[in-house]
Structure 1
Amino acid sequence: MPELPDVEGFRQALISCSRRRRVTAIEVRDAGVLRGVTEKRLRRELEGRRLRKASWEGVASRQMVVRANG
């Protein structure tokens, strides 16, 4: 099932803007969108790392998964 253009555009912009940069801070405005991770753990796991890849996974591709390098 193809993604909506604005949602796919967000994925592409996220990777494009983060290329060769480290995550310095995480701001979660709506913790209700997080699945399987707390805001605290998200910060701990991503801050200081580089985003590597963002892809759609899960049932009907409704979850964006972002992979990071150490």
Structure 2
Amino acid sequence: MDNNGPAYHEMMELHEILNFKTLCLVKSKMMSGLVFDQDLKALMEKDVKQTTAAIQDLQSVYKPNGGIVH
């Protein structure tokens, strides 16, 4: 068995995590427009920044055609 890249199930799990993080980002961005409490708004903006960074990290590893970007 070739051990140069992730297994199929690992790529599927990474894909699911990436989709979940993207959904969370969209929800946080949408909800932050409805928030009037400044502390909560700041927390949500921090979440958006952290989630964006996490998505970029995941995208740097994930390659949809089944490989790892080296």
TM-score tier (shorter):
0.3 to 0.5
Which TM-score applies when normalising by structure 2? 0.35
Larger Rg: 2
Higher strand content, 1 or 2: 1
Q: Which has the higher contact order (CA 8 A, sep 6+)?
A: 2
Which TM-score applies when normalising by structure 1? 0.35
